[in-house]
């Protein structure tokens, strides 16, 4: 009986110790968890929390608001978590808050945007894709498909990462390009893209910077002009609807940055760092991967499940 009681007591102590050791991690992104793209990031965060046993909270401003996001980072620093994950769409606006976290001894990993500034701000590493390079790869592919006059649809003006995508697109495309600024409302995007196509019938290529917010509306705009068969439409990121269009031959391709990994890996890395002091030696590229017609069918189901 005494041995049984000792064993039970040891189990309780170990369980309590494990519970106390569970790291606390705060994720602060510029994208809301109800956004189609960011919901996949959030799914990755939740899966990592489940797999590691970490206590993780996901926070984001209600709109694309760098002042509000910096305040969320500051609030996270005040809680002294074991780690903070941040996206960095604007280093000038968010840099001081991130540096404050580092100065407080809190390990920081950046994800999604900010690969070019992450290290200088003191982050341990970045999980994401090089946005300029991804845009350049898209431009080169669209030029190889015969594109001559391109339109880059930017649905989140002020996000440096999206600016870099359009810049890379122009560099890779080589032909005439212009940037069309829009908002996040798909109806607005469709109207503005159609107006651009109507005003310049030479446009034969569209690169959207978000599948649901800009890619699908751009497709509908091209369809409304009656020139969809002559206009190459590609997008960053994926949605079930855009993937179906690729599979059907109505769209050119999607650029998959595997945003599930952008939510999942930083939480896993910070958990391992808190428990064992382990951390990868450099940035982790989650993309880009071009999803063309032959690949689209493979990821439609996973996209609908919120994984791709």
Which CATH number characterizes residue 205's domain?
3.40.50.2300
Whether omega before 88 lies within 30 degrees of 0, making that bond cis, reads no
Considering the domain architecture, whether residues 79 and 148 belong to the same structural domain is answered as no
Considering the domain architecture, whether residues 67 and 183 belong to the same structural domain is answered as no
Residue 156: predicted pLDDT: 87
Structural domain count, the chain: 2
Strand pairing of 149-154 and 126-128? unpaired
Residue 19: predicted pLDDT: 46
Considering the domain architecture, whether residues 24 and 86 belong to the same structural domain is answered as yes
Residue 173: predicted pLDDT: 98
β-partners of residue 254 are 235, 291
pTM for this structure? Answer: 0.78
Considering the domain architecture, whether residues 192 and 262 belong to the same structural domain is answered as no
Residue 144 lies in a domain: yes
Residue 207 lies in a domain: yes
Residue 302 lies in a domain: no
Structure tokens at 186: 């798909």
Query: Domain range spanning residue 200?
Result: 131-256
Residue 128: predicted pLDDT: 96
Considering the domain architecture, whether residues 108 and 165 belong to the same structural domain is answered as no
Considering the domain architecture, whether residues 149 and 182 belong to the same structural domain is answered as yes
Residue 104: predicted pLDDT: 98
Structure tokens at 77: 């620093």
Considering the domain architecture, whether residues 222 and 172 belong to the same structural domain is answered as yes
> Which stretches of the chain drop beneath a pLDDT of 70?
1-20
Residue 288 lies in a domain: no
Considering the domain architecture, whether residues 185 and 103 belong to the same structural domain is answered as no
CA pair distance 125, 82, nearest whole angstrom: 16
């Amino acid at each position: 009986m005494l041995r049984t009681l000792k064993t039970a007591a040891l189990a309780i102590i170990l369980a309590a110790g494990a519970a106390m050791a569970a790291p606390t991690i705060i994720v602060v992104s510029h994208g809301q968890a109800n956004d189609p793209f960011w919901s996949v990031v959030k799914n990755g965060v939740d899966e990592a929390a489940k797999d590691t046993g970490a206590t993780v909270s996901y926070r984001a401003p209600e709109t694309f608001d760098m002042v509000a996001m910096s305040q969320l980072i500051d609030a996270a620093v005040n809680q002294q978590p074991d780690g903070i994950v941040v996206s960095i769409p604007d280093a000038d606006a968010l840099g001081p808050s991130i540096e404050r976290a580092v100065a407080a001894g809190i390990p920081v990993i950046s994800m999604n945007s900010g690969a070019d500034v992450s290290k200088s701000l003191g982050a341990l590493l970045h999980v994401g894709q090089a946005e300029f390079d991804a845009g350049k790869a898209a431009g080169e592919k669209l030029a190889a498909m015969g594109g001559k006059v391109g339109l880059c649809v930017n649905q989140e003006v002020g996000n440096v990462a999206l600016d870099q995508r359009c810049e890379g697109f122009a560099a890779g495309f080589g032909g005439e390009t212009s940037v069309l600024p829009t908002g996040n409302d798909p109806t607005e995007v469709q109207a503005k893209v159609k107006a651009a196509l109507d005003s310049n019938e030479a446009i034969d290529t569209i690169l959207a910077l978000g599948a649901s917010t800009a890619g699908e509306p751009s497709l509908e705009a091209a369809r409304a002009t009656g020139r969809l068969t002559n206009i190459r439409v590609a997008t960053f990121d994926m949605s079930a609807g855009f993937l179906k269009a690729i599979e059907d031959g109505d769209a050119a391709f999607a650029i998959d940055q595997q945003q599930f990994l952008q939510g999942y890996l930083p939480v896993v890395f910070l958990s391992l760092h808190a428990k064992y002091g382990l951390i990868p030696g450099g940035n982790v590229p989650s993309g880009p991967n071009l999803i063309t017609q032959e690949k689209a069918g493979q990821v439609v189901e996973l996209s609908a499940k919120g994984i791709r």
